[in-house]
Amino acid sequence: MKKNINNILRGTFLVSDDSFKNWRVILFISGLALIMIASSHNADKKVYEIARLKNEVKDIRSQFVDGRSRLMRLKMESHVVGVMNEKGLASSETPPKKIKVITKDKDQ
């Protein structure tokens, strides 16, 4: 047991005659570790991108709601009447009348 720990600490398992299989395992594990690190970085990038897009959606949605509420205020009859009074136009006292246009055929 003590001999095995000494061999591991000194690194003799890497330079012995049958060390080729040990190197293969070490290289395989190192490759898997690199793939895992790269995958983790890609996942983190995607998480940050999703968070950024969610914030952007919230901002655009609030802009939309703000624009819609301003439009509703501008379309209100009281607001339109106020703007027209500022320009010197007033509401008519008499109701509008319907105009009928009768066309005559040129053949007759």
Q: Where are the domains of the chain?
A: 2-86
Q: Which residues of 4-17 are buried (b: 16+ CB within 10 A; e: fewer)?
A: eeeeeeeeeeeeee
What SS3 state is found at 21?
Answer: helix
User: Who has greater pLDDT, 36 or 94?
Assistant: 36
What whole-number distance in Å separates Cα of residue 9 and Cα of residue 78? 88
User: Who has greater pLDDT, 28 or 91?
Assistant: 28
User: What is the rounded end-to-end Cα distance, in angstroms, of the chain?
Assistant: 123
How much is the pLDDT for 96? 87
* pLDDT tens-digit map of 48-71: 999 999 999 999 999 999 999 999
pLDDT mean over 32-54: 98
pLDDT mean over 42-51: 98
Report whether 79 contacts 73 (CB < 8 A).
yes
